[in-house]
């Protein structure tokens, strides 16, 4: 049965025991409010490592003033229940004080893929993510850690962080898990009213259509403008809807040869949703 | 005999072998141009660990535009010769490209003790130090690393960095090593002309007198003003000469109870020298 651990020192004791036995370790960092997307990350971790650490920590440093830190869903008992069938070795659920003790004052900024998109509306977001991910990875020193493609920009930032700082962990990307109607699973979906929930799948539908058009040779600007109109008419308030280089998130200069990703962030009422899909290669369209 | 290693991957292979045998590891980060101060750090490391990694890397990120990166002494063959009697297991001397590969774009800023003093004249210095120290420690994952008190502010910043980010390394502070006339050993002493070298010991002499006066109950402001005058009359161009809380480097609010440190940075001609000493406790003066 999983052990719930609150202290970094205690986590390290377990890790040290496992290491002495030559066991490999995977970490699944989460903010709790677990859904099937998180559980898929745990499952992926299980396939590649002997020991699994699931972390549950709602990181204050990645919420801006006025964001939903206060109302972000917290449900540890339910989370532990959901994790039970996956039997992680440790659920690491530290207090904010354990991660950010008095006097804490260090920040990690990652350039490259962190600029624009999410950063346009949440300027401190990726510094908060990079700092807490570094702390969690260094607390457990896992061989690998799983992150979801749902937060695609975050995934690229974490990969770059780990490479740039020589953090000895391999980052494994896992595909987005979706509702049957296509809506990407997110803890924030719980905020949606019934009407908003009914409208929400259009986000993925529109992204998929956009990606298909561009993969089929349509001009990025035209296809994006059309998709933007579709979403706005359905009541979405769009922060960004864009097609970028899938590895750098830079604007596309050569659509024929670059790997491409379509990404969106939009509000339905007061709920902000994000999603992204790969653009199929032109060559795929010829098949 | 020491092995010279250029690649992080190769360093990690050795570290993995040592770990499998249960051996403990110490790292001594240096910028080369080794002198007896560095060798004392190696000696201290040897006393506490089975395996020693000495790193030699002149870190471009901690030099500002117009600083002495270009003329900073580089002497790897001589450094290896000096290290021979201390027989470190590995001398890790990577290229700038190995540490900062193309696209590298991550920075670590440490608050607290990094503000003021050195940062006043070298604003990016501690971000450069924190980033490279993190990379080196994560490349080797030593149990402990030795740093000299000569760079006292840097020592406090590194200690804070390691604590704040959960880097699994203990930082060991080693006392400043001095010439017989009191001048703190520094690779930059090589820049001094004969006249400047003759004047340089006044820095330590003045610091020691200042610390003694304050330890004996003198007012910090008066004693500091007098010491400043002494140095300026001898031709020193002072960046700072100050007494601070020895743990936080914040200005002193209660001299009777806080641990105190006197710190100085001053130029002799074009050479910038720094030094620092502990202020003896008032209670010591009563003995």
The closest of A187, A186, A160 to A173, measured between CA atoms, is A160
Active site residues of A: 38
Average pLDDT over residues B168-179: 98
Least confident interval from A159-173, B5-19, B54-68, B79-93 = B54-68
The closest of B54, B83, B23, B74 to B146, measured between CA atoms, is B54
Pick left, alpha or beta for residue B24 (phi over 0 → left; psi -120 to 50 → alpha; otherwise beta): beta
Residue B69's SS3 state is coil
Test the B interface: residue of A25, A27, A116, A164 with most B CBs within 10 Å: A164
> What CA–CA distance (Å, rounded) separates B245 from B117?
13
Q: Does A111 touch chain B (CB under 8 A)?
A: yes
How distant is the Cα of A120 from the closest Cα of chain B, in angstroms?
19
Chain B residues within 8 A of A108 when measuring between CB atoms: 106-108, 165
How distant is the Cα of A130 from the closest Cα of chain B, in angstroms?
10
Q: Does B38 touch chain A (CB under 8 A)?
A: no
Contact (CB, 8 A) for A16 and A90: no
Residue A287 has pLDDT above 50, yes or no: no
How distant is the Cα of A216 from the closest Cα of chain B, in angstroms?
31
Residue B36 has pLDDT above 50, yes or no: yes
Residue A283: pLDDT band with limits 50, 70, 90: low
Q: Does A133 touch chain B (CB under 8 A)?
A: no
Q: Does B124 touch chain A (CB under 8 A)?
A: no
The closest of B204, B282, B199 to B241, measured between CA atoms, is B204
Chain B residues within 8 A of A134 when measuring between CB atoms: 165-166
Residue B285 has pLDDT above 90, yes or no: no
Contact (CB, 8 A) for B106 and B64: no
Is A108's CB within 8 Å of B104's CB?
no
> What CA–CA distance (Å, rounded) separates A26 from A20?
16
Nearest residue in B to A22, CA atom: B20
Count Cβ atoms below 10 Å from residue B81 Cβ, excluding itself: 11
Test the B interface: residue of A23, A57, A105, A127 with most B CBs within 10 Å: A105
Residue B150: pLDDT band with limits 50, 70, 90: very high
Residue A207 has pLDDT above 50, yes or no: yes
pTM of the model: 0.94
Residue from B28, B38, B128, B241 carrying the catalytic annotation: B38
Q: Does A97 touch chain B (CB under 8 A)?
A: no
Q: Does B159 touch chain A (CB under 8 A)?
A: no
Is A160's CB within 8 Å of B130's CB?
no
Q: Which domains does chain B have, with CATH numbers?
A: 3-174 (3.40.50.620), 187-277 (3.30.1300.10)
Contact (CB, 8 A) for B215 and B279: yes
Chain B residues within 8 A of A131 when measuring between CB atoms: 165
Tell me what the pLDDT averaged over chain B comes to: 95
Residue A150: pLDDT band with limits 50, 70, 90: very high
Residue B74: pLDDT band with limits 50, 70, 90: confident
Is A112's CB within 8 Å of B134's CB?
no
Q: Which residues contact B251 (CB under 8 A, 6 or more apart)?
A: B244, B245
DSSP B217: T
Contact (CB, 8 A) for A144 and A48: yes
Pick left, alpha or beta for residue A204 (phi over 0 → left; psi -120 to 50 → alpha; otherwise beta): alpha
> What CA–CA distance (Å, rounded) separates A236 from A267?
6
DSSP A150: G
pLDDT at A285: 44
Q: Does A110 touch chain B (CB under 8 A)?
A: yes
Which tokens in the block code for residue A257? Answer: 């040869």
Q: Cα dist. B76→A14, B94, B185 in Å?
A: 41, 12, 18
Is B164's CB within 8 Å of A130's CB?
no
- In this predicted model, which residue has the larger pLDDT, A14 or B66? A14
Which of A12, A106, A112 has its CB closest to that of B165? A106
* pLDDT tens digits, B79-108: 999 999 999 999 999 999 999 999 999 999
Residue A81's SS3 state is helix
């Amino acid at each position: 049965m999983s052990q719930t651990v609150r202290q970094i020192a205690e986590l390290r004791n377990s890790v040290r025991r496992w290491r002495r036995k030559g066991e490999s370790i995977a970490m699944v960092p989460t903010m709790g409010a677990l859904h099937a997307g998180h559980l898929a990350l745990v499952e992926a971790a299980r396939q590649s490592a002997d020991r699994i650490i699931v972390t549950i920590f709602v990181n204050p440093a990645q919420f801006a003033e006025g964001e939903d830190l206060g109302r972000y869903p917290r449900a540890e008992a339910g989370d532990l229940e959901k994790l039970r069938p996956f039997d992680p070795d440790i659920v690491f659920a530290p207090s904010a004080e354990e991660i950010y003790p008095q006097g804490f004052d260090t920040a990690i900024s990652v350039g490259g893929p962190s600029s624009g998109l999410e950063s346009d509306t949440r300027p401190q977001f990726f510094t908060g993510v990079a700092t807490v991910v570094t702390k969690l990875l260094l607390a457990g020193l896992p061989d690998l850690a799983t992150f979801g493609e749902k937060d695609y920009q975050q995934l690229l930032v974490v990969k770059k962080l780990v490479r740039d700082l020589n953090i000895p962990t391999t980052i494994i990307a896992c595909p987005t898990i979706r509702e049957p109607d296509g809506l990407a699973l997110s803890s924030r979906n719980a905020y949606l009213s019934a009407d908003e929930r009914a409208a929400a799948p259009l986000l993925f539908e529109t992204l998929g259509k956009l990606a298909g058009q561009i993969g089929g040779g349509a001009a990025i600007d035209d296809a994006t403008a059309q998709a933007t109109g579709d979403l706005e008419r359905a009541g979405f308030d769009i922060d960004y809807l864009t097609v970028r280089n899938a590895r750098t998130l830079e604007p596309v200069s050569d659509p024929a040869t670059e790997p491409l990703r379509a990404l969106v962030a939009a509000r339905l009422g007061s709920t902000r949703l994000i999603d992204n899909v790969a653009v199929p290669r032109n060559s795929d369209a010829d098949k």
